[in-house]
Amino acid sequence: MAEAGSRRFEGRTAIVTGAGTGVGRATALALAREGARVIVANRRADAGESAVAAIEALGGEAFYVQTDVARRESVQGLVEAALARYDRIDILINNAGVLGPMAPTADVTEEQWDEVMDINLKGAWLCMKYAIPAMVRQRRGVIINVASSANLRTYPYLSAYSASKAGMLGMTRVAAAEYAKAGILVKALCLGAVRTPMIEPGIKHAGNEALLDSMHAVGRIAEPEEVGEAIVWLCSDQASFVVGPALNMTGGTELL
C-alpha cells in the first residue's frame, strides 16, 4: 500500500460495523493500512462507500455492505457476503452504536429504549452470533466490542445507553470464556468521549466542548484515529494474551 505499515494483518479479513464515520472509519482505515481486507458495514450508503474509497486510495482492499445491525436478516447478509468474498472472517469490530435520548430515566419512551438496545446490544450479539461459527471453523478469530466509560462512572440522563453498554460487557465476559479455547479472543474496549458525530448531542447538552474536555483527567476528548490504533493492537498477535473486558481508553474520566 501507499502508506507504510507492518502488514500485520496480511491475508486476514475484518468486518467493521458503523465503519462509515468516526471510530469505525478510523479503525477500518487503520486495519487496511496493516494489510487487512475490510468489509465496511454501515447503514448509510454514502458514508460506507466513502470509507471504501478512502481505503482504496491507500492501496487497500475493501467493499461495502449496507447493514442495519438491529435486523437479523441484514447481519446474516453481511456475514454471508464476507464469506462469499473471502471464505473467512478473522476480525469483527462491533462498533455500530447510538447515544440515544438524553433524558431522565422515567422520561425515556419505550421506543427510544428499544432502539438503543437493538442497535448497541442486540446488534453486537447478532454480529457475534453469525460470525463466530466461521471463526470456530478456522480455530482463530478476534472480536472487539466497543464499550464505554459509562461502564465505569455514572452519566445521568443516559440510562438506555449506559444499560446497553453494561450489557455489552457482560456479553463479552461470557463469550470470552466460552470461545477462548477455540482460538477466538473476545475483548471489550471502554471509551471515553471521542470526537465523532455521536458526541454532538453531548456537547450541546454540556454547553461547550471545553466542559466535556474537563470531564477527562487528561483534559481533552479522544480522536478517532488514536482509538483505531488501539483497536488494531487489540486485534494483533501482540495482544494474543488479552481477553475479556480488557482495556479502558477513557482519558481518566472515571478518576474524576
Active site residue ranges: 161
User: What gap in Å lies between CA 141 and CA 150, rounded to an integer?
Assistant: 27
3-state DSSP percent of the chain in helix, strand and coil, to 5: 50, 20, 30
Q: How many helices (H) and strands (E) does the chain have?
A: 9, 7
Please state, in angstroms and as integers, the Cα–Cα distance from residue 181 to each residue in 54, 78, 141, 171, 173, following that order: 36, 26, 11, 17, 14
SS3 153: coil
CA distance 161 to 105: 11
Count CB-CB contacts under 10 A for residue 98. 18
Residues in the chain: 256
User: Largest Cα–Cα distance of the chain, in whole Å?
Assistant: 52
